[in-house]
Amino acid sequence: MRAVLGEHLTDFTAIYDEDVELVIVTDPQAERSESISKCLVESRQALSFRWVQTTGDMNAPDHALPATIGADLRSLLIDEVVEVGEVLSELMGCEQVGVRLETLTSPMCPRFHVDQVPCRMLITLNGKGTDWIPNRHVDWAVLADLGSTAVPLQPNGQIEHLPARNWSLLKGGSWSRQFGGVVHRSPHDSDVRLLLSLDPVWT
């Protein structure tokens, strides 16, 4: 299994290759992401929202976000969520996406695990990116031991990090029978993170 690093949104189609476990695309809206990060730090506002939106629906994130969010940050977040949602929807052939937008001050998922979804788009808009272990370096016996806190890493293996602000699409545990899903966790870091995740929803 391998990771694909790309610079264009069309590179996400590589997720359908059997030997690809995740695709990372350089943030196509780097200036917007930097502005979101700056506005979040300046506002010192904690966010924790989840909703399902239909492709192209500008009103869904607008309704989900509270009025207490400043106009500039609100507008930037809406544009980001709508654009990423449209990319994921077109790629997966789904009409809806489930959205989670959350500010984290401690690891949300401190233990390495696999998401039991077909795939998930992760974007760290502020703070450190998600930790992950390449499939070939995973110690699956350790991972399967739910009572263990050991890192499921084979000897000479290495923990990788998803680049912050880039768009990363990970295969989940229900993608196929041939692949168990990308093993990952929240970074063990004290910095404030703003995490945006999107899941395809088929109706």
* Count: domains in the chain: 1
pLDDT class of 107 with cuts at 50, 70, 90: low
Between 57 and 85, residue with greater pLDDT: 85
Q: What is the pLDDT of residue 108?
A: 64
Q: What is the pLDDT of residue 5?
A: 97
Average pLDDT score over residue span 58-79 = 87
pLDDT at 157 over 90: yes
Please choose, from the candidates 169, 196, 164, the residue with its C-alpha nearest in 3D space to the C-alpha of residue 24: 169
Task: Find the radius of gyration of the CA atoms of the chain.
Answer: 17
The range of the structural domain enclosing residue 82 comes to 2-201
Q: What is the pLDDT of residue 190?
A: 63
Q: What is the pLDDT of residue 36?
A: 87
Average pLDDT, the chain: 91
1-34 per-position pLDDT tens digit: 999 999 999 999 999 999 999 999 998 888 888 8
129-139 per-position pLDDT tens digit: 999 999 999 99
Q: What is the pLDDT of residue 10?
A: 96
Q: Which segments of the chain are extended strands (E)?
A: 2-6, 20-25, 48-54, 96-104, 119-126, 131-133, 160-161, 167-171, 183-185, 193-201
- CA distances 84 to 18, 57, 106, 184, 192, Å, are 23, 12, 25, 21, 22
pLDDT at 87 over 80: yes
Stated pTM of the model: 0.92
Residues of the chain above pLDDT 70, percent: 99
pLDDT at 53 over 90: yes
- Output the domain CATH number for residue 98: 2.60.120
110-151 per-position pLDDT tens digit: 889 999 999 999 999 888 999 999 999 999 999 999 888 899
